Amino acid sequence: MTISINSEGMAMTKRFKVTDYIAERLSQEGVEVVFGVSGGAALHLLHSIKIKKGINLVTTHHEQAAAMAADSVARITNKISVAIATSGPGATNLITGIAGCYYDSVPVVFITGQVSTTRLSGDSGVRQLGFQETPIVKMVELITKYATQIKKPEEIMLELDKCIKIALSGRKGPTLIDIPDDIQRMEIEVPDGTSHVFLEEKPLFLLPKIKDSEWSTLFKLISEAQRPIIVVGWGIHLSNREEDVRKFLDKLKWPVVSTWGAADLLDSEKSYRVGTFGTHGVRAANFAVQNADLVLSIGSRLDTKSTGSPAKSFAREAKKIMVDIDEKEISKFKKLELDIDLALILDIAGDEFPMLLRNIEEAAKPISQYWRSKISSYRTELSRQPLQHNLGNIDPYEFVKVISEACESNMRIILDTGCTVAWVLQDWVFKIQQRIFHDFNNTAMGWALPAAIGSISIEDNYKTIAIIGDGSFMMSIQELSTLKATGKVLKIFLLNNSGYAMIKQTQDQWFNSDYFASAANSEMIFPNFKIICDAFGLNYKKIEEQKNLITDISQVMHAEESMLCEIIISEDARVNPQVKFGSPIEGMDPPIKNELFKSLMIINTD
């Protein structure tokens, strides 16, 4: 960086190399860690990050892992996070991680290197001119809020600022900026004291105010409710409104169910917390939703995993109030034949949200003794009964009980997909200030290990554990090397059930238990995980019997160094209960006795 001085000795402009400017701007935004993989078209980017004081560069062994680690940091901090990759396969390897950010509304700025401008194919009609040239901007347009390629060095100031602000505005999400290699090395003049704020003629994000008629409808629906249920979703975390919502729920004391994304909003001791609902939720929560006469949904898009199928079977005799930032997420139900009685297009992070909560509080009545006792009976009569399987190995639900008891309050639990996330979010006993993170909507296998590396890269008072299935672990196993290089402490619990248990469960339902491409056998081989840990210099422990579970997990949790703990789960362990595709969410497998079902249902099921 060089500084130009005027005749009075005052600095007028600063001259930056483009990639040094990027590092400076990211530092101004509060970015403290950047993830990336080296490559010819990304070296200048990575070097500028490396030498920038205050930013820690973490280099993973796969670009997908870099994207997922950045995703994790943005989820945890609710601030911009960054991942960098080179052109060609480096850029395309980011795509799964970009998709996860897009579907979960996570604000990550992805920066890709590109071949030099003289090697861009442009409108020549050829597939590729420069070596490893890839049109990454066009590739990711459908899974980013904004994606652009820099054509001139001066554009970096405006375009980087746009990427940051668009990622954070409205419904958050990822952006991408693609920078040719020769432009990265050029210099630009930056006016001193200029923050280069991106301005538009109109605000980036503007929602209409709630109408008087909508306030009136809200009051009527809330005041008339006899069997209300509140749904809380991921949007509450995205908006940093956790404390406001907790206080609101404490005052109302209406029964509360949560999506996976908000499962950690309330500690399990809250009497009104019923649990997670939906296709992989708990029976009590599903029965509460289905028998309600009012569903108030805050910060959830109510996807098909929440509603079951067909969507019109969801809370079919209830009035529905949906609070969401995205009008399209509400209007989608017209095609699905599900009526939303009051759609409130509202930014939970905005000024109207506290007013909304106050109006609901004023209109709400205490729940009746009848509804309170009904919710209590759901909890009692519909508690999960373990499936009878090979008790020689560990019951996954027993593992969840033990590990949740062993975890402290200030703990981040990072989950991978498949049965792992379902087991945990059905039976976890939450403590105050615990956070659980997962790639909720994209549910990419292999997410948890790089996401946990992202978590331990944040300097705060939280500890981190990762819970990963053996199938998912194989998708990012190389990142054990990255973990070792960080020098940070991470406890990994590897649930080894000899293959893909969630797929097996689907094959139980649709393919007469023909476990093709899902079971550990001669066609799908899994390694000796102890030898893998030895190779990466990682401590290892194996737990095979239920009787040793509490003592052994306690030892792992109290270890001062990183460790992988392999938990041997029975091969026939399944998510219990689970809704089969095509069923309403009260119809979970394995089914309960018909007499009990009818006695607990209030609405008509004929």
Model pLDDT for residues 320-372, shown as the tens digit of each residue: 999 999 999 999 999 999 999 999 999 999 999 999 999 999 999 999 999 99
Task: Give the position of tokens 């954070």.
Answer: 168
User: CA-to-CA distance for 455 and 235, rounded, in angstroms?
Assistant: 20
Q: Is the pLDDT of residue 531 over 90?
A: yes
- Starting at the edge strand found earlier in the chain, the sheet holding 539-543 runs 435-437, 411-415, 463-469, 491-496, 563-568, 539-543
User: CA-to-CA distance for 295 and 256, rounded, in angstroms?
Assistant: 10
Q: Which two tokens stand for residue 273?
A: 């917390």
Q: What is the 3-state secondary structure (H, E, C) of 210-229?
A: CCHHHHHHHHHHHHHCCCEE
User: CA-to-CA distance for 125 and 469, rounded, in angstroms?
Assistant: 45
Q: Which two tokens stand for residue 169?
A: 């505005």
Q: What's the pLDDT score for residue 144? A: 98
CA–CA distances in Å: residue 574 to residues 28, 439, 441, 586: 48, 21, 21, 18
User: CA-to-CA distance for 229 and 212, rounded, in angstroms?
Assistant: 24
Per the rule left: phi > 0, alpha: psi between -120 and 50, beta: everything else, 365 is beta
Q: What's the pLDDT score for residue 7? A: 45
Q: Which two tokens stand for residue 228?
A: 């209300």
How confident is the prediction for the chain on average, in pLDDT?
94
User: CA-to-CA distance for 51 and 43, rounded, in angstroms?
Assistant: 12
Decide which of 3.40.50.1220, 3.40.190.10, 1.20.120.530, 3.40.50.300 is the CATH code for 212-381. 3.40.50.1220
Residues β-bridged to residue 5:
11
Residues β-bridged to residue 177:
111, 148
User: CA-to-CA distance for 456 and 106, rounded, in angstroms?
Assistant: 18
The answer to whether residues 236 and 299 touch, using CB atoms and an 8 Å cutoff, is: yes
User: CA-to-CA distance for 130 and 26, rounded, in angstroms?
Assistant: 29
Q: What's the pLDDT score for residue 605? A: 79
Which of these ranges, 173-182, 416-425, 541-550, has the smallest mean pLDDT? 541-550
Could you read off the pLDDT of 237-271 as tens digits, one per residue?
A: 999 999 999 999 999 999 999 999 999 999 999 99
The fold for domain 396-576 equals: Rossmann fold (3.40.50)
Could you read off the pLDDT of 4-16 as tens digits, one per residue?
A: 544 454 457 889 9
Question: What amino acid occupies position 4?
Answer: S
Using CB atoms within 10 Å of the CB of residue 60, give its burial: 0 to 12 exposed, 13 to 18 middle, 19+ buried. buried
Could you read off the pLDDT of 46-102 as tens digits, one per residue?
A: 999 999 999 999 999 999 999 999 999 999 999 999 999 999 999 999 999 999 999
Does the domain formed by 2-191 have CATH 3.40.50.620?
no
User: CA-to-CA distance for 92 and 134, rounded, in angstroms?
Assistant: 8
Q: Which two tokens stand for residue 558?
A: 């109290």
CA–CA distances in Å: residue 83 to residues 60, 105, 535: 10, 16, 27
**Mean pLDDT, range 110-114, rounded to an integer:** 98
Question: What amino acid occupies position 142?
Answer: L
Percent of the chain with pLDDT over 70: 95
Percent of the chain with pLDDT over 90: 90
User: CA-to-CA distance for 312 and 333, rounded, in angstroms?
Assistant: 8
Q: What's the pLDDT score for residue 522? A: 81
CA–CA distances in Å: residue 392 to residues 126, 389, 539, 546, 547: 61, 9, 25, 8, 10
What pLDDT band is residue 191 in, cutting at 50, 70 and 90?
confident
CA–CA distances in Å: residue 186 to residues 118, 156, 345: 14, 11, 45
**Residue intervals in the chain for CATH 3.40.50.970:** 2-191, 396-576
pTM, full prediction: 0.95
Q: What's the pLDDT score for residue 203? A: 64
Q: What's the pLDDT score for residue 196? A: 56
Q: Is the pLDDT of residue 473 over 80?
A: yes
Residues β-bridged to residue 36:
59, 84
Residues found in the chain: 606
Could you read off the pLDDT of 491-516 as tens digits, one per residue?
A: 999 999 999 999 999 999 999 999 99
**Residue intervals in the chain for CATH 3.40.50.1220:** 212-381
User: CA-to-CA distance for 165 and 449, rounded, in angstroms?
Assistant: 29
DSSP per residue, 41-88: GGHHHHHHHHHSTT-EEEE-SSHHHHHHHHHHHHHHHSS-EEEEE-ST
Ramachandran angles phi, psi of 356, nearest 5°? -60, -45
Q: What's the pLDDT score for residue 202? A: 59
Q: Is the pLDDT of residue 376 over 60?
A: yes
Half-sphere exposure of 115 (CA within 13 A, CB side): 16
Could you read off the pLDDT of 223-240 as tens digits, one per residue?
A: 999 999 999 999 999 999
Q: Is the pLDDT of residue 397 over 80?
A: yes
User: CA-to-CA distance for 349 and 300, rounded, in angstroms?
Assistant: 14
**Mean pLDDT, range 29-42, rounded to an integer:** 97
Q: What's the pLDDT score for residue 384? A: 78
**Mean pLDDT, range 126-153, rounded to an integer:** 96
User: CA-to-CA distance for 88 and 98, rounded, in angstroms?
Assistant: 16
DSSP per residue, 260-305: GGGTTSS-TT-TTEEEE-STTS-HHHHHHHHT-SEEEEES----HH
Pairing of strands 81-85, 108-114: parallel
The answer to whether residues 114 and 133 touch, using CB atoms and an 8 Å cutoff, is: yes
Q: What's the pLDDT score for residue 247? A: 98
The answer to whether residues 495 and 574 touch, using CB atoms and an 8 Å cutoff, is: no
